[in-house]
Amino acid sequence: MQQPLELMTAILRFLKNLPLFEGIDQGELVMLADAVRLRKFPEGTSLFLQSDPSDSVYLVRRGAIAIQLLSTDGRELVINEMNQGDCFGELGILTGELRSASAEAIVDSEVLIIPRTAFLKVLEQEPFLSRRLLEITASRLQDSTRREEALAFHDAQQRLAYQLLQLDQSTGEKGYLTMSQEDLAQRVGLARQTVATILGRWRRRGWLLTGRGHIVLLNRRELNLLVENTGTFQEK
What are the Cα distances from residue 142, in Å, to 100, 155, 188?
A: 17, 21, 17
> What's the confidence (pLDDT) of residue 1?
54
CATH classification at residue 183: 1.10.10.10
Same domain, 93 and 210: no
Whether 96 and 138 share a structural domain: yes
- For residue range 180-218, list pLDDT tens digits in order: 888 888 888 888 899 999 999 999 999 999 988 899 999
The arithmetic mean of pLDDT across residues 119-125, rounded, is 90
Are 136 and 216 in a shared domain?
no
Q: Which of 21-25, 48-52, 71-75, 174-178 has the lowest mean pLDDT?
A: 71-75
- Do 164 and 225 share a domain, yes or no? yes
Element (DSSP H or E) covering residue 150 = helix 127-153
Domain C-terminal end among 151, 180, 205: 151
Q: What is the mean pLDDT of residues 115-123?
A: 92
**What is the domain extent for residue 182?**
154-233
Q: Indicate the pLDDT class of residue 219, thresholds 50, 70 and 90.
A: very high
Domain CATH number, residue 58? 2.60.120.10
Answer yes or no: do 22 and 136 share one domain. yes
Pair (118, 99) in one structural domain = yes
Do 90 and 23 fall into the same domain? yes
Tens of pLDDT, residue by residue over 36-85, are 999 999 999 999 999 999 999 999 999 999 999 876 666 778 888 899 99
> Are residue 101 and residue 186 in the same domain, yes or no?
no
Last residue of some domain: 110, 133, 151?
A: 151
- Give 98-111 pLDDT, tens digit per residue: 998 999 999 999 99
Q: How many domains does the chain have?
A: 2
Where a domain ends, among 151, 181, 200?
Answer: 151
- Average pLDDT over all residues of the chain: 87
Do residues 81 and 67 touch, judged by C-beta distance below 8 A? yes
If asked whether residues 144 and 164 sit together in one domain, one would say no
Same domain, yes or no, for 158 and 147?
A: no
CA distance 167 to 208: 14
d(CA 19, CA 34): 19
The pLDDT of residue 53 is 94
Are 9 and 68 found together in one domain? yes
CB 28, CB 90: distance < 8 Å? no
Is it the case that residue 151 has pLDDT exceeding 70? no
> Does 172 share its domain with 196?
yes
